[in-house]
Chains A and B, each alone.
Chain A
Amino acid sequence: AKIRYVNTYRLESRKKFRDCLVRDKAQAILMNKLQQAKYDGISSPSLCASVSEEILKAVKELDFDRYKYVVSVLIVEKAGQAMNVASRWVWDAQRDSWVSAKFESETFIALALIMACYYD
Chain B
Amino acid sequence: MASGQQWVLVEMVQAFYEAPAYHLILEGFLILWIVRLLFSKTYKLQERSDLTEKEKEELIEDWQPEPLVPLVSKDHPPPKYDVVSGPTSHKIIVNGKECINFASFNFLGLLDNERVKNQALTSLKKYGVGTCGPRGFYGTFDVHLELEERLAKFMRTEEAIIYSYGFATIASAIPAYSKRGDIVFVDEAACFSIQKGLQASRSNIKYFKHNDMDDLERLLKELETEDQENPRKARVTRRFIVVEGLYINTGDICPLPELVQLKYKYKVRILLEESLSFGVLGEHGRGVTEHFGVNIDDIDLISANMENSLASIGGFCCGRSFVIDHQRLSGQGYCFSASLPPMLAAAAIEALNIMEEDIDIFRLLRDKCKHIHSALQGISGLEVVGESISPAFHLQLEKSTGSRELDVKLLRGIIDYCMNRQIALTQAHYLDKEERFLPPPSIRVVVTIEQTEEELEKAASLIKEAAQHILQHTVLGH
**A pairs with B:** no
